[in-house]
Chain A
Amino acid sequence: MKDQIAKYTAKLGADRSALPGAIAFAAQDDLLITDGAPQLAELAGATLSRLNALALVAARPALPFAELLIARAGADETGIVPQDTETRTFLHDIPFLRQKDLAEDAPGRIARLLSHRKGIIVEGVGIVAVGAITVEQAYINYSSVFHATFVKYLQDVLRDGFRVPGEEAALELLRRDWLKPLTDDGLAFVPELSDDREEILAEVERVGRYTVERGLVDSFFGNISARAGELIYISQTAASLDELAGCIDPVPTDNSSTTGITASSELLAHRKIYEATGARVILHGHPKFAVIMSMICEKQGCSIRDCWKECPEVRHLDATPVVAGEIGAGGLAKRVPPVIGATGGAVVYGHGVFTIGDAGFGAAFSLMVAVENYCREEYFRRLDGRR
């Protein structure tokens, strides 16, 4: 477990979701171990020892959005409800603890909240997340909370403006330091994929790594596939896109084998997209600004309340269509295929971006970058316009 802790400590630093030096893990086998920043490690250990779970991470997010959400919340509120579809589906809501709640028995208070949610925000500490059965799971839950708070905070600020001290500075930190120019510069792609199994596996693996390295996914979720004749090679469910070796399922298009039962939950969407467009490859990620912008709707007097699953409209971000739909067997598999052919890309409300390519992953990747860049610029254009 020590190697797992080292691995995911490094990942939290590399994806810049946590401040290096302010990350701690605890894990328990027959013994409890802790590692990382001493104070956080002590808290992590004391909290995990109260839980029937294997691992826990406590870390300070690299951006203060989670705590700003607490500061902006009403005095009687005890949690936030994430707006993006993935976290909404898997986390439901994110409880928080204020500094004043921690006066006595902080680990006990934290453990009590973690006894029914996978991740929480603790004022003055950061994000604390639990992994029921693996260290990786604690990392995933941390990342999901980070992603959800990032999206919700920027959404709220655009809608309601700054409300508490420190928000200007936080946005400055985001724009000046945290956000890097997003490009596909320096990435190499096979221009025209053949049907060769080894070539496809290697390319899918490599492109998966690119999407993580360039920050197009949250934690590492998303999915990738390539079609070769009667087979779809698709990343497995719960697979880390930067570690896809051995985690790519070949699925026959005629469903003559069920080995693909472990394939991504978006297998159906991929299959339908191939059927509708004749594409060779599909890329799906959760770039943050596309997620945020997809949820901004100007329509007045609309009667639909669950926009993320019910909205029947095709809206647009620049030229890219935006549709609603739940993940998995829910709805996006119906709504994305008819619209994605027009530009080669589609955004799913509060969820992420699908792009396709006719020959190789190059076009799909650069389109995803372009969509996210457009959304990023548009977000700040609107935010600046508001001020």
Chain B
Amino acid sequence: MHGWTGRMLHVDLGRGICRRDEIPEELLRAYLGGRGLGVRMMREFFRLDPFDPEIPLIFAVGPLCGTPAPTSARLSVVTRSPLTGTIYDCSAGGRFAWRMKASGIDLLVITGQSAQPVRLEIADDRAELHPAGELWGKGVRESVAALKECGSVAAIGPAGENGVLFANIMMGEGNSVGRGGLGAVMGKKRLKAITVNGTGKTTLADPERFDAARGDVLRLFRASPVLFGELGIGEYGTPALVDLMAQRRMAPTRNFTGTFFPEAGNYSGPAIRAACGAKKDGCYGCPIQCKKSSDQGEPLPEYETVNHFGALNDISDLHAIVKANSLCNDLGMDTISAAATLAAFGEALGRFPRAEEVEGLLERTALVQGEGTLLAKGSLRVARELGHPELSMTVKGLELPAYDPRGAYGMALAYVTSNRGGCHLRAYPISHEILRKPVPTDRFSFSGKARIIKIAEDVNAAVDSLVACKFAFFGATLEEYGELLSAATGIEYTPETLKSIGERICLTERFYNCENGFSMADDLLPERFFSEPGSSGEGIDIPPIDRARFEEERRKYYRIRGLNDDGSFPDANFLERCP
């Protein structure tokens, strides 16, 4: 077999057993790896409560991982989210995925709950559980440092240990399995960390064809202003978007009461570079290197993070924002959800936190102390408990990222159709609505968006299963990645076959969610976006979203997806018909 290893490691924490198995080849072909394979492996378990000891926590790499395919040293972590209750997958880069593949597995499935804190050590064929009591309670940085001899590290911080609903899993290199609270699932299992090391090589079916396709991808990267342009994310990281979102007047401000923050220039890409440096950093083997770190090697915040600890909380102090980012990374919390929860909390109390208060609030959240007991539950539950459910800017309980839907209507639709809640990355319409790739679309129009979102969801589900980075698709397309995949595995995949795999994955996720009680009533944006305007100005008008038009487009989306008009599943036997 080329591309895949064809093997999985099952770790039962309750019984302390590690066992290697074959993965049926049919499943690999039909779901590729990453998100797709992980979601498929949840078929028998998706109804379990996210904190049920038996819920699987799945780490899945893809067929391109371990090859020189650009941006492919990534994996997906899949389980059911304690924050949203939906099926959930999260993609992360770094070096962990590549080393996990090198240890000879495509899948790591962790079930059960350990009686004591443990860590899992994988090195080639060896997989062992070790007591981790001495690491329990420690921050991510210290835990990673303690384990660095064992290879790449994925660890939770105090937030994951304490069940913070938006706790993340941090990769030792500073990348995070950020959203959805998967760190809390890991914490519930009392699994502090996983280390991986290996010497295996991923083989290619047709190295010559692979090289040609790789050359095509790199040429497209170089032709892409967003990636390799002098103002692109290769130079400035995602904070390159700060100036653009300000100019487009769609940067969520003060818990989405506005869409323009005059002080955003304090944390723009060039401002961060001037104040902190911007050393190029990034995932293993990736030519884009979009991550930036300070001269001291400290990972610097992404666009979402600077906006949410900045504008969303009415904070303009760059150093406080950088500090908040580092602190979240060390405590093991998703920066987007943490900041958005603070903003909802602030608006409900009538006062946003001051820059110097953020640190204490984050610490108490991770430790679930004081007001942190409430904050640890995320924006939706915070707003409800404070008697202001309308102030939670979430979809399906997931805090919205830093693209105001009033400034991009495809984004508005994509937030509600996303199977993991209010996420920008499922369909990523920012690519065409704002960044003009592959071609521009009118951001203030719903016309055609239902179809566009559906197609993009399918494409990205395939991308998440390869697993490649979304950013690669600012330059390349599935044409080139399909070629890479065919050359790697020796099995022919075209963009259309990949999209149909993506479609199968999206529908499977929706099916799980519907079975777990999700319905059209959950495919909704917070009321604010339909009744309050954004911050118009500079000739750009940001009115509230037209609800009727939004609902019409959502109905079109259901039809295009083959769902009933109310978004429910017409076919109770859908899963049986899938491989």
Contacts and interface: CB of A to CB of B under 8 A. Distances in A.
B270 interface: yes
A264 B440 CA distance: 13
A257 B216 CA distance: 30
B507 interface: no
B448 A261 contact: no
A238 B441 CA distance: 11
B458 interface: yes
Contacts of A327: 222-223
B409 to A, nearest CB: 14
A258 B270 contact: yes
A296 interface: no
A261 B229 contact: yes
B23 interface: no
Contact of A259 (B228, B247, B441, B500): B247
A30 interface: yes
B436 interface: yes
Contact of A261 (B222, B225, B450, B480): B225
B494 interface: yes
Contacts of A261: 225-226, 229, 231-233, 240-241, 243-244, 435
A132 B438 contact: yes
Interface string B366-382: 00000000000000000
A134 B231 contact: no
B436 A29 contact: no
A384 B107 CA distance: 66
B482 interface: yes
Contact of A258 (B244, B450, B494): B244
Contacts of B438: 132-133, 137, 238
Interface of B: 216, 219-220, 222-226, 228-233, 236, 240-244, 247, 268-270, 432, 434-441, 447-448, 450-452, 455-456, 458, 479-480, 482, 494-497, 499-500, 503, 555-556, 559-560
Contacts of A251: 231
Nearest to B502: A52
A29 B450 contact: yes
11 contacts: A116-B482, A133-B432, A238-B439, A259-B243, A261-B226, A262-B436, A271-B230, A326-B222, A329-B222, A329-B228, A329-B230
A139 to B, nearest CB: 10
Contacts of B448: 1, 27, 29, 54, 133-134
A256 B231 contact: no
B449 to A, nearest CB: 9
B437 A238 contact: yes
A263 interface: yes
A327 B231 CA distance: 16
A327 B475 CA distance: 12
B499 A52 contact: yes
Given A29-B451, A54-B448, A256-B270, A262 B496 contact: no
Given A29-B556, A134-B441, A262-B436, A328 B228 contact: yes
Contacts of B243: 257-259, 261
Contact of B230 (A30, A52, A89, A255): A255
A251 B435 CA distance: 15
Interface of A: 1, 27-30, 51-54, 89-90, 92, 111, 115-118, 131-134, 136-137, 140, 236-239, 251, 255-265, 267-268, 271, 326-330
Contacts of B499: 52
A129 to B, nearest CB: 13
Contacts of A29: 448, 450-451, 556, 560
A262 B244 contact: yes
A140 B439 contact: yes
A44 to B, nearest CB: 16
Nearest to A139: B439
Nearest to A238: B436
A237 B496 contact: no
Contact of A263 (B225, B240, B269, B450): B225
A242 B427 CA distance: 30
Contacts, number: 153
A266 B436 CA distance: 15
Given A265-B223, A330-B223, 5 more contacts: A52-B503, A53-B455, A237-B225, A258-B243, A327-B223
A30 B233 CA distance: 35
Contact of B224 (A136, A271, A328): A328
A265 to B, nearest CB: 5
Given A134-B441, A258-B242, A329-B228, A237 B436 contact: yes
**Interface pairs A-B: 9 shortest CB-CB:** A115-B496, A328-B223, A329-B228, A116-B494, A30-B556, A52-B499, A30-B559, A258-B231, A258-B240
Nearest to B540: A246
Nearest to A264: B225
A327 B224 CA distance: 9
A205 to B, nearest CB: 16
B560 A30 contact: yes
Contacts of A239: 436, 440
B119 to A, nearest CB: 41
A92 B483 CA distance: 12
B302 to A, nearest CB: 14
- Counting chain A CB atoms within 10 Å of each CB, the highest count among B229, B441, B448, B450 belongs to B229
Q: Which of A51, A115, A118 has the most CB of B within 10 A?
A: A115
A118 B244 CA distance: 30
Given A258-B268, A261-B225, A137 B450 contact: no
A53 B477 CA distance: 14
Contacts of B226: 261-262
A328 B475 CA distance: 11
A278 B49 CA distance: 67
A115 B268 contact: no
Contacts of B555: 30
B219 A263 contact: no
B244 A265 contact: no
Contacts of A118: 479
A328 B439 contact: no
A52 B455 contact: yes
B485 to A, nearest CB: 12
Contacts of B455: 52-54, 132-133
Contacts of B242: 258
Nearest to B442: A134
A52 B441 contact: no
Contact of A116 (B247, B434, B439, B496): B496
Contacts of B230: 255, 267-268, 271, 329
B331 to A, nearest CB: 30
A137 B225 CA distance: 19
A133, A239, A260, A327 pick with most chain B CB within 10 angstroms: A133
Contacts of B432: 133-134
A257 to B, nearest CB: 5
Nearest to B213: A92
Which interface residue of B247, B439, B447, B480 has the most chain A CB atoms within 10 A? B439
Contacts of B228: 328-329
A30 B436 CA distance: 24
Contacts of A259: 231, 243-244, 247
A117 B483 CA distance: 11
A30 B230 CA distance: 40
A329 B270 CA distance: 20
A225 to B, nearest CB: 13
A1 B244 CA distance: 28
Nearest to A136: B439
Given A30-B450, A89-B223, A134-B439, A257 B270 contact: yes
Contacts of A238: 436-440
Contacts of B225: 237, 261-265, 267, 328
Nearest to A262: B436
A183 to B, nearest CB: 32
Contacts of B495: 115-116
Given A29-B448, A326-B222, A137 B270 contact: no
A271 B527 CA distance: 46
Contact of A115 (B220, B236, B480, B497): B497
